[in-house]
Amino acid sequence: MAKKTPSFNTNQYLKMELLRFTTAGSVDDGKSTLIGRLLFDSKAIFQDQLESLEKASRLRGEEAIDLALITDGLRAEREQGITIDVAYRYFATPKRKFIIADTPGHEQYTRNMVTGASTADLAIILIDARNGVLTQSKRHGFIASLLGIPHCIVAVNKMDAVNWSHEVYERIVQEYTAFSKRLNIHDILFIPVSALQGDNVVEKSRNMPWYDGPTVMHHLETTVITSDRNLIDFRFPIQYVIRPHQDFRGFAGRIASGIIRKGDEIMALPSRKTSRVKEIITFDDRLEEAFESQSIVLRLEDEIDISRGEMIVKKGNQPWVITGFEATICWMDDQNELNTRTPYILQHTTNTTQSYIQKIRYKIDVNTLHRQEADSLKLNEIGRVIIETARPVFVDSYKTNRQTGAFILIDPHSYHTVGAGMIIRSAENHSMDIFSLQKSSDVVFENRTVTRIMREEKYGHKGAVYWLTGLSGSGKSTIGKLLEKKLFDEGKHVYLLDGDNIRHGINGDLGFTERDRYENIRRIAQIARLFFDAGFIVICTFISPRQEMRNFAKSLFPEGSFYEVFVKCSIDECKNRDPKGLYKKALAGEIHNFTGIHQEYDAPQNPDILIDTEKLSVEEAVDMLYGSFI
């Protein structure tokens, strides 16, 4: 009869520290049996579960209870005696709560192991003492290292089958220690066990007096994991904006890492606007501070436009804001291989965006750790890739922050998860602060003899910038040309900067990647500033699909001299117009990275001027703009 599970005070239970650990091993190494022994000897199996196990064991013709059946829950697993899918089990002792992920050891189930181990604090790698260190044993250690699991137990199992030999155990320890030096695991402990008989699992073994270390359970209960938490880099992905009434605006989410306190200065990404924390609210209380893994609502002292998918960070501690990065990825799709020509949805924290695999640098043989050239990745293969995103993402390296350094790739048609990745570093030429990169050193502005004000007085009008943004086919260029002609005919100093003309000349070296789009707008904004300084009215007609791009352009000009003009037109109407045949080519696959088809367009939420070209004629639109100038 199984003993009753010890009862815990509810509040005490909720406050107990949680350890997530995973197991991995080759076929018949005894992973499931070890977990069963942990649960059985720690009194974590209820009476009805025990009766079910006894019945299942009898059906298999076994006299004793088969503890592996506790986790091998699928019929196929029980029939074959192997673990196929990830099995999660929850239990607690008076010292700590646990979540176990029992993962399959077969190479063809690498994706399952990656999934189960991705959130683990500790990994238990089992080695059969009879067989010694196998290729699979090294593969499991490599994957644990790849996933950044900070603690590792190497359980040398089935010591009873080698007559409790100290020599066999030491030989395995030496061989695996030599191998582990190539891995990124710094806390590794070897324990000789017999999962079947319970030696050194929960209770100390009498059969191995030469071993004076801890049992598996003791190490699970006492391993220090608080230092593994990232309490330095505050990262708060926005999950939901709470606005129950006009006097309350809060930002809800789960703190990915770091600590936040009332009064702390914060920055919102990607807008880079700053404020201070006014309140930290939970479902039942108001806090002075909150930390990693807590779900909270933040209220700020200032009204800042922040939406789901954006992030709040500390002003002096920011992640990379990038559109390209290098990552290690495990391919999980059993239907299609990874394709560098296929767009994928990238999910990073609460942010989703379109992405492309720009390059596969190499794939990794998970058995030998050797690198191999590759044009694609198949199911369960792991490779190093460079990814480009359609809009900036806010990331850290996986090594420093597992929460903001991880992502998944989703098939845009089936919405199945096809890949899981870990960010290594920002890709070349995709650094933080996209617009601040292009600055010359040791250069200062020369004071002008003829100022803008002097020019404006002579011209009889003030300089201004009208920035027309909208989808291709919305009518930006047509409106811009007629407005320029109307102002010119009246003797105004005016100049039109149009997308196609600029790309034929000064921006002819740029393509249409996200990075090149930012550089295109950066150059245009600086040119517009030069014309503005000369006292001109500058008309800019560019898609400029990101609000961040337009905010940067506006930041270059004095208050009240820059007008964001949203030339509004639905995507369906733009496709119908298609004056240059670009939508047709994009839909046919002849053009890539086309806004509205492959990439999203951030429509202005609060433009200075709104022109709906489905309701207004070109002449009416020009008159509206002309009227705003007058």
Secondary-structure percent of the chain, ordered helix, strand, coil, rounded to 5: 30, 30, 45
How far is 528 from 536, CA to CA, in rounded Å?
9
**Predicted confidence band at 83 (pLDDT cuts at 50, 70, 90)?**
very low
Residues 265-292 have pLDDT tens digits of: 999 998 888 999 999 999 888 999 999 8
Q: Tell me which residue of 388, 390, 332 sits closest to 357, measured CA to CA.
A: 388
Average pLDDT over residues 347-373: 88
Mind listing the pLDDT tens digit for each residue in 310-350?
999 998 888 988 888 999 999 989 899 998 888 899 999 99
Q: Which amino acid is at 605?
A: Q
Do 609 and 625 form a contact (C-beta atoms < 8 A)? Answer: yes
Q: What is the mean pLDDT of residues 28-37?
A: 82
Burial class (CB in 10 A: 0-12, 13-18, 19+), 8: middle
Q: Identify each DSSP E strand in 292-381 by its residue range.
A: 295-300, 311-314, 320-331, 344-348, 351-364, 371-372
Catalytic residue IDs: 544
Q: How confident is the model at residue 3 (pLDDT cuts 50, 70, 90)?
A: very low
What is the pLDDT confidence band of residue 185, given thresholds at 50, 70 and 90? confident
pLDDT band at 59 (very low <50, low <70, confident <90, very high): low
Can you point out the beta strands (E) in 25-107? 87-92, 97-102
Domains along the sequence of the chain with CATH: 10-228 (3.40.50.300), 235-314 (2.40.30.10), 320-432 (2.40.30.10), 452-629 (3.40.50.300)
Read off the amino acid at residue 628: S
Per-residue pLDDT band at 65 (split at 50, 70, 90): low
For residue range 205-263, what is the model confidence (pLDDT) as tens digits?
999 999 999 999 999 999 988 777 888 899 999 999 998 888 899 999 999 999 999 99
Q: What is the pLDDT of residues 122-181, one digit of tens each?
A: 999 999 999 999 888 888 888 888 888 889 999 999 999 999 999 999 999 999 998 888
Distance CA 375, CA 363 (A): 9
* Percent of the chain topping pLDDT 90: 43
| 412-444 pLDDT per residue, tens | 889 999 999 999 987 654 444 445 444 444 444
Three-class DSSP labels, 422-457: EEEEECCCCCCCHHHCCCCCCCCCCCCCCCHHHHHH
- Per DSSP, the three-state class of 577 is helix
pLDDT digits (tens, 9 = 90+) for 85-112: 566 788 888 889 998 887 765 666 677 7
